[in-house]
Structure 1
Amino acid sequence: MEAYNTTIYPVFEADQVLSQKDLNLLVSHLEEQDRITRKNLIGLGIVCGLEISSSNENSVKISCGTAVTSLGFQINWKEKEFTHYHDYEISEQFLKPDYLQEPHLDNIFKYASQYEPVKNCMELVTSASDDNTKKPLTKDFLSDKIVVLLLEVSLIDQKNCVNTNCDDKGKRMEFNVRPLIYPIKDLNTDVFHEHTVMAKAPKLTFPRYNVDPYINITTGNDVLKQFNKVCSDSFVISVSDAVSVLYSDFKNNYGSNTNFPVLQNCKNKINEIVSNYKSTINIQYLWDWIYDITEAYNEIAAFRKINPTICCVNEGLFPFHVALGNGIETGTQYRTPFIATFNKSQEEQAKLKQLELLFDRLNHIINSFSVPANGKIKVTPSVYGKAMLSEKAIPYYYGNVLQLNKKWSPELTANQENDTILSYHSDIAGYSNAKPVKQPLLFDIEPYNFFRIEGHLGMNYKSALKDLTLIKNSNSLPFKITALNAVDFADKEVDIMKFEGRWDDLETDYDLARKRLYNITEFVFNWMNTRRNKLISENILSGQTIDNFKNILQEIKNLLTNDLKEFLPNFTSFYEIFKELNNVFLLHRWCIQLNRETLSVLAEDLIDRLDDINELFLEDPFAVIYEEAYVRWQNVYKDLFFSTFIKKHSGLEHKAGVTKGGTFILVYVDSSIFKAAAPPPSYANLLASVKAYKDNIAIADDIKVELEKSIKFKDYKSQIKTKPTTTTNPCKDETDNIKANLMEIAKYKLDTTYTAEMSGFILENFKDLLQFTPTVTGDNQNNSLEQLVIADFFLPYTCCSDGNTIEIKLETAAPPKIEMETPEYCNNDMEGEYEVFITGKSGGNFIGTAKDAIVQHSDSYFFTPGHNSVQTPQTYTLQYEVGGEVSNTLEITIQSPQELAWSFKRDANKPSVFMFKNTNANDTHSYEFDFGDGSDTIIADNGTANHNFDFSNSQEFNVTITQLGEICRSTQTIVVTAVGDFNANDFNSNDFYTD
């Protein structure tokens, strides 16, 4: 700090004669120490208060407060309100005091002369002043004036002259605080300096999705169009202007050396990015990016003003005054700020560094928007709500993330903890070595209330849903996932085949009906096949007819797919085939009875079997299941669509993720879900074949007609069939049908746009319009969006459970799966057939090296290890392919029998005992011995076996040795033969030999 003349001061001694100089030096030292303490250790300027206001337009009120001048003088003020003013001239005793005899006052009064140019001014006075020259204040008068508190320091001569005697009374320092006013346009800037301050920046607000105005969103293009709201020129300009003002305030107020040209006008850069991505599927990321810009701006604005600090005070700044301004806040004000000194400079410098990093981050955000190519889905914990941007995870769509990481959170960077910031890119090299940062979902997620979900835009929606569900389930994350289709479903019928949910109760009913049909048809076929020769010999059925029956029954079973969902769209064709087959069985029944007065037991049994099938047809269980399924489907399928969902569930938001405990919604486009116009050719061909077969039956046409009439078709209960009508005006019926359809469409359209009252009013008037020409407009859907995820949203609550037995939201469909009881077989198993169990869709094909060894019986598939294609011992593969999806891979091991190496010899001491030995020393298998003499089998574990044969009853035994513990049954046969007279007295070693 600057040294004054008080670098020395007097020290008094006893009986010392004190001079005027000694006393003044002491007083000067103490007074200067007070002022130095204020200005050099605390600060200078307006400390608090001294605010200008008014109770009316014609007055000025100065609130109480404290200020310190740049010389260190303290100004204390009590609140006063002024209603008048008068002309005032600053005293010459202040401007030009005579202090030749007091040189120590030079450090004070040397600054007084700088007020000479503004000595003519106006002083505020109260209404109680007795000054006759006072004038009232007016609004117009005050509008262009500033208020200044002047500390008028006067050196007053205290000489008291009476007659001819003038005693020297000395001098005094007199301090008066005067409230002066000056016209702004005439201000002397050498005296009254402008103080540029960072005004409190306004907060940028961000629009909500599809609000103000709300529109009906139907197609994928509608979804994407709503993201364009933040790309409008007006919004981009408002963001750019706010950033520019904030950056200019920062540069001007703190004199920072940082230079970020884009912050001076970011509109061009934003528009450049917008033009590149606006027409792409990544427009959602533009929305997120511009949101980040506004949040980065708001964090800087919320950082508040950082007061400038100084260490070495310039005493000439405002030595005897402080300016209070005029009560109007502007960016440039004539109001003296408070400037902290020394003790706060390091703290403020740290804040300034953080502020510079925040601007650097904003610069990086604007300049580095980049959507990665071929991204993958990741879930990153983050925070949601009032948290600043620096507290959230770094998003997916930025380049040079390693540099952004150093700027994202100034506080963490200052503490060298920026490697703890979570990000989509936190697993790249050099980002962090901490596993909780690289794999945050494996660790405590309690501090987080939000999950960023990124990388799925542009993916096939089924793949995205599958991958995201896997991440969610494998990490036990607390949110739900659903997917919605953004297509217009009005006037269209959704193909139930595209339904990917659950239909548990109807699936059970369908499986039971299908299994019953299988059992009955299988029983009938086996019954006919067992009695084939007798049926032919008794001329009841020909061999060709039996074969035709077999083919028909097989085709019936093939019509019934494993999955009810696959069966329902083709029910109409199946229904027609069912009726034609009913006719076929009736015709055969009639043929059996033709020209037979009495029926044999076999013929009656055959008729009973045909009646079993016919009764199954007449019960029509599949029509009942079909009806119930479609009644439900018509009621709920609309909830598959985004347009319906957003009307029923409020609070939909887009924040690039989902809150903890919320519902994450993938929006996709799939117009292939609508029902195809033509039925599958296979069903049409089959129907034609059955009709041709029926027509070829050698029965007179009139008899066929009579038989067909005998069928009670009303027993077929399907409600989708055209009902009999009593009307005689088909034109009117058709008109009513068209009108009803149009009314339904109109109601759907009106409900999405108008209130319920207005919609009802319009519909009432619309009912009278019977003459019209319906027109169909093309869907404005962008074909390039087909099958792709185009956007995501979330609801802050778990959705949705309406208690319906149909889960209408898209769930991940499990891929087909195949299983077998065992994967190992022997190639000498020529008769064995082993079932391959299929889970999932039916109607597919087997692939792999073992595919040719698969045979089908009814709706089941079997592996035959004796097939020529799998005779070579090795491992074969088997997969099941259906609808473009491939099942898991089964590895089937085929083995072949081994050649055994057992030898044998007779015990030299006991001729009837034979010893068997395994010559393969490395063989550790156990073996079963059947000696062929009726004795119990034995198990040999150690490679040897002994047996005593009784040759008194038989001269030859077949010994069968079977290897245990292997898939293939490997055996060796040894023949033991008796030769010679075993009971003769001449017994010797040559009486036996073995083969």
Structure 2
Amino acid sequence: MGNVLDNISKDNTRFTIFENDQVLTADQLNDLFNYLEVQNKLTRTKAIGVGIIYGLEIGVIDSKHLVISRGAAITTDGDLLHFDYDQEFDQYAVFEDLNAKYAYFLTDTEQPMPMFELRDSRITGSIPGNDLGALEASTGTTFKDYAGVLYLEDYNNDPDLCTGADCDNKGATAMKELKVLLIHKNNIGALLQSMPAMNKDYFALADLDIPRVVVNTGIDKYAELSSAFANALTVKDDIIDKITKAYQTCKLIVEDDFEGGDPTEKWKSLLSDQFNPQAPFYSQYVYDYARDISYAYTELRESLFSDDMLASPDVELFPKHVLIGLVRDATLKRPIPVVFPDIRFPQPTGIPVLEERRNLLLRSNLFSTSSIRFNFGVLIKRFHPVHIDLEYRHHFYESPILNSNNESDELTRFNFMRLHSMITNFYIPTATDLQSLDQGLKIIPSLYEDVPLGERSIPFYYRYDEKLPMNLYWNFNANNRKRENQILSYNATQYASSAAARTPLNFNILKYTFFRIEGHIGFKLTDVEASLNKLILDNNLPINFISVQVEKRLDTIPPRSWFFPHLYMYEKSIKSTFFDRIDDADSVNDDLVKRTDVATTTIPATEFKTARQNVYDNAKDIGDSQFNYMSYRSAVSNVITAASNVKAQTKQFTFSNTAIPHDFILNSDVLRKTDVISSIYQNTVIKKKTGLMLGNFMKDNPGLEHAGGVLRGGTFVLVYTADDMVVVGDFMLPYASIDKDVVADPPIYTPLPLPLPPDTPIIPRFPIGNVFEIIPSYTKNLDLKLIPYLKDVDLDDRVNIKVEKGIKEATSGLDIRLQGFDQRLKESSNLFTTVFTSPKTTIPGRDLTNFGGVDLTAEIKKYKDNQLLLQDLPVDAPDRKEKEAELLDSANILTEKLNNAAVTNDVNSAVEVKGLLADLHSGTSLVQNAELKGQAITIADRANVINRNLRFNR
């Protein structure tokens, strides 16, 4: 008997309507039967599916019996093959397909395929066979080399017209017997052809992988960054090959969507142009574009995987058989009861024992679960909801109606149109384009790359075209639901009407995990930072950003508002102490000039007051952009000089209760401590700037990737070049990288007010009225003071005469020595007026540029000019290194000439030389360049040697 669904014709689509008293013919009855059978089979194959629905695994128990679990299957001819209960077989026999002559059981040479039929000897009326336990020995094979086949032997048995009883035509009998066959896997080749080639289009396409952009931490030039993107873009040819093959593979499905015919030639031309951007720094967007194509291609390929969906299966695939897989090891959880072919009806013999067994089976729960446990072993290679053997076993191939969620063909067509739209609409707007359109930096909420491409926002490098709108072909579900105008993008204002799509940052953003940042490449760094910072703050976005420079150049890295609390507090403490001292000295000076009992015209109080104010004017915080360390140093030097001048003019006075405040100023180490703080600050700033170079930043912050935006809670990294300070790229860190030393509004130091009651006058720091005494202690007449007391001593006249004589002699010598001290103090006071002053300043009777007959006027002038120039030069000035080298050259020449015996042996100029050497130390300490530090140290060491060789007038 042939396949029923193969024989559908016009006769199978009509049947006779029966009427009363009509004559029924065989054709009329057969037409009705055929129609009903065909409809039943079509319902199974086209509306449900074909293949194994469940169960029907085959296994061997103790190398003796074979078992098959209960299950069901549908053949491509619509036959339902099933076992309602687990089956156990203990015998076999050679099977010859003499009746149906099934084509699959013939080899290529038209010879019958070797097969064995399984039998259960326990069933009454079964034909005896061979012991199954002897199969392996007799054939020299093992059970596991065989595959099981369910075969519906379907044929018509038409006996002769005449029998022993009569010659009436009783008609043919349709024979349909379900058999279990064993076929060796080496002989099953023809049957394997009956397995549908599923997802052949899917497996015909290869993956499209995009290389990663690899940036070396030693990067120092923009060309190296551009090269890193260029290396990744070598994937262009692979992209062209893969999408071209995808179109050829799916041409029958999608060709009607392209009115101009095959679009692949146009794709090739466009991609070749698009992968050569106008400027190198737009390469990052071409790289993003390549990744988008990769995602779109992957989703297109996935749409070809139909999950075993089979529409209108070919009847000839497996019309009367089903492959149930290779034999596996199995064990029984409980014995399998003997089940008759159909237990719904009593056996014809009417034997009571059989009836009782039938009723017992109907009442029992033995068949609620399978009695067999299969050991699948290493054969399980892939997961599938039902099947475990993908090579020798028919799957269940669903009807499209049961797999409607895939919408396979429509999804494939959509993915091709999206790919076509992406390639057609790709365009990178330049900075000039954005300025002409009055557009700039935007932040668009999106989702990260762990979701399908269509669920993300549309990048800004896809322009909007009404004839081929990118938003229409971006998301499949949005297309179906007519929600394409709700998709977020940089260009959403050109197609969206809702406020949520046009201004998404004004609405709920909690569902978004990523933020696209676009419209900043090619713009100045300062403008980008200002715009980005405003957007983040105004919209309270959960991201932060940082800017790094490609080149490793300190001088071009802009300073940040760094604030270092430990240095700030220490510096404030030093300054406050020093300011207290100069305020005290200023109060004393004011009191002195008001005295009427002494001459005060020579006291330089005005000079000190001016120098004091100059200190205040230059005493900015070291982190302040207006702070000039050399100006502050000069101001402190001047106030010390002014204090020494005041002290020189007040030698006839002395403090009554404590030391003079001017002494605290003269002995202050504020400059040395400020030197230390300034050096630490500069080194800290250098370290901070060094960390803002791209290569160094990558070392300190692993995980840097280019993504076209930043994850929620992450850090967006702007990359700019040193020469023009233009943003040329961006990267992302998936975590927050925050410079805690950047403080927008650093604290301002203000002295704490004294907790005084109201109307309480402020207590002066010094009791000004009792500071000075007019008569210095070293001019007192000891004779007048001591003799009256000596006279009161009870001594004889000879002793009194001797004591009085001795006192006069002693006080006479003391007066001479004090007069000499006054003269030396007067001479030394001139020295205070020249401390920290220019070498051009002279002391009467002394040349400060000629030492021991060696004229150093030119060398000192050149050194001083270089020193003053370097003092006012910012540490990050481009020519700082050059000026430091010039200072060291002049200092080197000066120290070589000072290192002369004529100079070091001149006792009259030793003090001046010592001061000049101190000035050399101060100048060389200004050198910040690491390469010149060694030379500066060498000069300072030479100055120390000269200082030790100086001869002073003792």
TM-score range, shorter chain: 0.5 to 0.7
* Secondary structure of the structure 1 residue equivalent to 2:448: coil
How do 1:505-516 and structure 2 match up within 5 A? 505-507=566-568, 510=571
Q: Distance in 2 between matches of 1:192 and 1:609?
A: 107
* Secondary structure of the structure 2 residue equivalent to 1:281: helix
Q: Is the 8 A contact 2:46 2:313 kept in 1?
A: no
- Report which stretch shifted further, 578-587 or 620-629: 578-587
Q: Distance in 2 between matches of 1:28 and 1:574?
A: 111
1:438 and 2:502 matched: yes
Q: Residues 525 and 67 from structure 1, CA distance in 2 versus in 1: closer, same or farther, beyond 3 angstroms?
A: same
Q: Is the 8 A contact 1:47 1:66 kept in 2?
A: yes
Q: Residues 471 and 25 from structure 1, CA distance in 2 versus in 1: closer, same or farther, beyond 3 angstroms?
A: closer
Q: Distance in 2 between matches of 1:207 and 1:413?
A: 31
How do 1:393-792 and structure 2 match up within 5 A? 393-400=457-464, 403-427=469-493, 429=494, 431-488=495-552, 498-507=559-568, 510=571, 540=601, 559-561=618-620, 564-566=623-625, 571=629, 575=633, 578-579=636-637, 582=640, 586=644, 590=648, 592=649, 614=666, 622-630=674-682, 632-633=684-685, 637-670=689-722, 691-692=837-838, 695-696=841-842, 698=844, 700-701=846-847, 705=909, 721=925
Q: Deviations over 1:928-974 (max 9, x none)?
A: xxxxxxxxxxxxxxxxxxxxxxxxxxxxxxxxxxxxxxxxxxxxxxx
Hey, what does 1:250 align to over in structure 2? 250
How do 1:326-365 and structure 2 match up within 5 A? 347=404, 351-365=408-422
Q: CA deviation at 1:174?
A: 2.7
Q: Is the 8 A contact 2:157 2:175 kept in 1?
A: yes
Q: Deviations over 1:641-674 (max 9, x none)?
A: 333332233333332222222222223333799x
Q: Is the 8 A contact 1:377 1:464 kept in 2?
A: yes
Q: Distance in 1 between matches of 2:475 and 2:640?
A: 78
Hey, what does 1:301 align to over in structure 2? 301
Q: Is the 8 A contact 2:567 2:677 kept in 1?
A: yes
Q: CA deviation at 1:364?
A: 2.0
CA RMSD of aligned residues (A): 6.6
Hey, what does 1:198 align to over in structure 2? 201
Hey, what does 1:367 align to over in structure 2? 424
Q: Percent identical across equivalent pairs?
A: 21
Q: CA deviation at 1:507?
A: 4.0
Amino acid of the residue matched to residue 32 of structure 1? V
Q: Is the 8 A contact 2:306 2:406 kept in 1?
A: no
Q: Is the 8 A contact 1:619 1:715 kept in 2?
A: no
- Report which stretch shifted further, 714-723 or 169-178: 714-723
Q: Distance in 2 between matches of 1:34 and 1:253?
A: 31
Q: Residues 671 and 445 from structure 1, CA distance in 2 versus in 1: closer, same or farther, beyond 3 angstroms?
A: same
Q: CA deviation at 1:293?
A: 1.3
Q: Is the 8 A contact 2:300 2:416 kept in 1?
A: yes
Q: Deviations over 1:332-370 (max 9, x none)?
A: x9999988768569x579553333222211222233322
* Secondary structure of the structure 1 residue equivalent to 2:488: coil
* Secondary structure of the structure 2 residue equivalent to 1:457: coil
Hey, what does 1:158 align to over in structure 2? 159
Q: Residues 301 and 396 from structure 1, CA distance in 2 versus in 1: closer, same or farther, beyond 3 angstroms?
A: same
Task: Name whichever structure is richer in strand by fraction.
Answer: 1
1:377 and 2:427 matched: no
* Secondary structure of the structure 1 residue equivalent to 2:201: coil
Q: Is the 8 A contact 1:657 1:664 kept in 2?
A: yes
Q: Is the 8 A contact 2:605 2:646 kept in 1?
A: no
Q: Deviations over 1:87-119 (max 9, x none)?
A: 999879779xxxxxxxxxxxxxxxx99x99997
- Report which stretch shifted further, 608-617 or 401-410: 608-617
Q: Distance in 1 between matches of 2:578 and 2:32?
A: 121
Q: Is the 8 A contact 1:121 1:182 kept in 2?
A: no
Q: Distance in 1 between matches of 2:558 and 2:922?
A: 20
Q: Residues 528 and 511 from structure 1, CA distance in 2 versus in 1: closer, same or farther, beyond 3 angstroms?
A: same
Q: Deviations over 1:104-145 (max 9, x none)?
A: xxxxxxxx99x99997664655799989xx999999xx9xxx
Q: CA deviation at 1:42?
A: 3.7
Q: Is the 8 A contact 1:244 1:265 kept in 2?
A: no
Aligned residue pairs: how many?
Answer: 661
Amino acid of the residue matched to residue 642 of structure 1? L
Hey, what does 1:226 align to over in structure 2? 228
Q: Deviations over 1:66-88 (max 9, x none)?
A: 6656654446699999xxxx999
Q: Residues 700 and 309 from structure 1, CA distance in 2 versus in 1: closer, same or farther, beyond 3 angstroms?
A: closer
Unaligned runs of 5+ in 2: 1-7, 61-66, 120-128, 327-378, 382-390, 435-439, 726-833, 849-906, 928-933, 942-954
Task: Name whichever structure is richer in helix by fraction.
Answer: 2
TM-score between both structures, scaled by the size of structure 1 = 0.51
Q: Residues 495 and 210 from structure 1, CA distance in 2 versus in 1: closer, same or farther, beyond 3 angstroms?
A: closer
Q: Distance in 2 between matches of 1:344 and 1:372?
A: 46
Hey, what does 2:750 align to over in structure 1? none
Hey, what does 2:776 align to over in structure 1? none
Q: Residues 23 and 442 from structure 1, CA distance in 2 versus in 1: closer, same or farther, beyond 3 angstroms?
A: closer
Q: Distance in 2 between matches of 1:137 and 1:274?
A: 64
Q: Residues 321 and 362 from structure 1, CA distance in 2 versus in 1: closer, same or farther, beyond 3 angstroms?
A: farther
- Report which stretch shifted further, 320-329 or 39-48: 320-329
* Secondary structure of the structure 1 residue equivalent to 2:275: helix
Q: CA deviation at 1:388?
A: 0.9
Q: Residues 657 and 93 from structure 1, CA distance in 2 versus in 1: closer, same or farther, beyond 3 angstroms?
A: closer
Q: Deviations over 1:456-489 (max 9, x none)?
A: 2233223222221211111111223223333336
Q: Distance in 1 between matches of 2:219 and 2:392?
A: 54
* Secondary structure of the structure 1 residue equivalent to 2:517: strand
1:34 to 26, 30, 40: 40
Q: CA deviation at 1:401?
A: 6.1
- Report which stretch shifted further, 390-399 or 634-643: 634-643
* Secondary structure of the structure 1 residue equivalent to 2:214: coil
Q: CA deviation at 1:232?
A: 2.3
1:210 to 202, 211, 214: 214
Unaligned runs of 5+ in 1: 55-60, 96-111, 674-687, 724-729, 738-995
Q: CA deviation at 1:628?
A: 4.1
Q: Residues 494 and 243 from structure 1, CA distance in 2 versus in 1: closer, same or farther, beyond 3 angstroms?
A: same
Q: Residues 26 and 367 from structure 1, CA distance in 2 versus in 1: closer, same or farther, beyond 3 angstroms?
A: closer
Q: Residues 582 and 523 from structure 1, CA distance in 2 versus in 1: closer, same or farther, beyond 3 angstroms?
A: closer
Q: CA deviation at 1:289?
A: 1.5
Amino acid of the residue matched to residue 295 of structure 1? Y
Hey, what does 2:895 align to over in structure 1? none
Q: Is the 8 A contact 2:430 2:522 kept in 1?
A: no
* Secondary structure of the structure 2 residue equivalent to 1:396: coil
Q: Residues 49 and 247 from structure 1, CA distance in 2 versus in 1: closer, same or farther, beyond 3 angstroms?
A: farther
Q: Deviations over 1:605-646 (max 9, x none)?
A: xx9797676456766553343244246446655433333332
2:14 to 2, 7, 24: 7
* Secondary structure of the structure 1 residue equivalent to 2:276: helix
Q: Is the 8 A contact 2:550 2:694 kept in 1?
A: yes
Q: CA deviation at 1:420?
A: 1.7
